[in-house]
Structure 1
Amino acid sequence: MRDETRLSPVPFVPEVSLQMAEDAIALWETTESARGEVGLPPPFWAFAWAGGVAVARYVLDHPGLVAGRTVLDLAAGSGLVGIAAALCGAASVRAAEIDAYAVAAIGLNAEANGVRVDAAVEDLLDGDGAPAELVLAGDVFYERAMAERFLPFLERAQARGALVIVGDPGRAYLPRGRFTALAVYEVPVIADLEDTALKSTTVWQLAPVPPQAG
């Protein structure tokens, strides 16, 4: 992992440094070769994706949001969002991922930034994220099937009292009617991954479900 990435400040979030790859395709091919498998998921952990960058920027600009709170970084990727929360004084940060490479990357990145993030390979989407008081997610609405699992999870987390914040760069499956916009950023991204150099990205808060009439 260290051989294929370089520790660098994150564009737009220079307070955080991550082990990032310069060539997405080359890293993907190297990972498949090392594992002896074809068709592995892309190395999401080796890049700072727009949704996560936006949430991390918002957290760092509003440290009171996380200070003293238990935080869950959902689908954490590189751990950028969780690291930002830890830097802002979160009581604890848990990072959940289904990719073992991502969990390893989160460990390296947290250490490089001098913070603790407890990362594990786990699928939490059938639960409600307890005991986290704040659930953060960057860029999780990029596929229909994933969106259909993420939204109910986030709603259950909110229903038990958690604050839910997500970042989204205009993905097709974000149910915008369920969210309230908190901020919009023009986030620099890797053109090879996003077909553009800047991505307009919104930080959203999950809105309460309106009470049923009658």
Structure 2
Amino acid sequence: MKSPGTSRLDPAAFIQANLPISTVPSIPEILLHTAGPASGLWRLAGRGETAPPPYWAYPWAGGAVLARHLLDRPELVAGRRVLDLGAGSGLVAIAAAKAGAAAVTAIDVDANAIAAIGLNATLNSVDIIAVAADIIAAPPPKETDLLLVGDLFYDPTLAVRVTAFLRRCQTAGIEVLIGDPHRAYLPQGALQQIATHAVSDFGAGFSDGAVQAGVFSLS
């Protein structure tokens, strides 16, 4: 899960004041508060200026490819209860809600992400339940039909924990969809790729050329 952030500032007020609203590259249907060079995110996170930026402040390729896929294939979520794990900005959760999900829950360990999800949901006129929690050591979530996972395979230890959790969810009857640009710790041998989309990736510096990211199900 994403690293927790702590702050004495009001997260929602800081995000509104310092993260401008823009459309997501490759996904013009969705607006997000997105950090820029002058956003000063280190102040919100309570860390030094050289600290790495928080994941929730940018649209990453794994989330972008899932969002694009759901908006193009709304029948995948229509009428279903959806959970977005490691939701970050809420991009995937917002796409699921726009595509007609019956209920959408977004979970992230970073309380600042939860504030961003709330603001971003309002921008896009959708209802999302946003929860700060680490659930990957817990039993599979109840009242969930579809679990969405965008870009959670960037760390080896996290990747092992997430994969084990997804297997438990699959065994409990929950469908799992993963979006990822083939990062180093993606367990590709345990997955089946079902779609590919060209999307931008903050991890690649939003270069002019899009990355080819995949949508996967568990084998």
Q: Which of 113, 131, 153 is equivalent to 1:102?
A: 113
Q: Return the alpha-carbon distance in structure 1 between the equivalents of residues 108 and 52 of structure 2.
A: 13
Match of 2:97, SS? helix
Per the alignment, residue 161 of structure 1 pairs with: 173
Structure 1 distance, partners of 2:16, 2:34, is 9
Answer with 48-57 or 172-181: which moved more: 172-181
Aligned pairs for 1:1-214 (under 5 A) are 1-23=15-37, 27-32=40-45, 35=46, 37-38=47-48, 42-126=53-137, 127-190=139-202, 193-195=203-205, 197=207, 198-207=210-219
Change in Cα spacing, 1:154 to 1:6, as seen in structure 2 (3 Å) is same
Deviations 1:108-135 (CA, angstroms, capped at 9, x unpaired) = 0001111001001011101213221000
Structure 2: give runs of 5+ residues left out of the alignment: 1-14
1:28 CA displacement: 3.3
Structure 1 spans left out of the alignment, 5+ residues: 208-214
Tell me the C-alpha RMSD between the 2 structures.
Answer: 1.7
Shift of 1:29: 2.6
Is the 1:130–1:157 Cα contact (8 Å) retained in structure 2? no
Aligned equivalents of 2:41, 2:88: Cα separation in 1: 15
Instruction: Give yes or no for contact 2:67–2:91 (8 Å, CA) kept in 1.
Output: yes
Q: 1:189 to 1:201 in 2, by over 3 A?
A: same
Distance (whole Å) between structure 1 residues aligned to residue 206 and residue 101 of structure 2: 33
Task: Could you list the structure 1 runs, at least 4 aligned residues long, displaced by more than 4 angstroms after superposition.
Answer: 38-41
Q: Return the alpha-carbon distance in structure 2 between the equivalents of residues 162 and 94 of structure 1.
A: 14
Match of residue 8 from structure 2: none
How far residue 182 of structure 1 moved from its aligned partner, in angstroms, is 1.2
Task: Quickly say closer, same or farther: Cα 1:112–1:200, change in 2 above 3 A.
Answer: same
SS in 2 for 1:154: helix
Q: What's the CA shift string for 1:162-183, capped at 9, x where partnerless? A: 1100111121111111111111
Local SS of the residue matching 1:2: helix
| Cα distance in 2 between the residues matched to 1:81 and 1:26 | 23
Between the aligned partners of 2:44 and 2:83, the Cα distance in structure 1 is 27
**TM-score if structure 2 supplies the norm length?**
0.86
Checking the alignment, whether the CA contact within 8 Å between 2:80 and 2:145 is kept in structure 1 is yes
Q: How many residues align?
A: 201
What percentage of aligned pairs have identical amino acids?
Answer: 43
Partner secondary structure for residue 63 of structure 2: helix
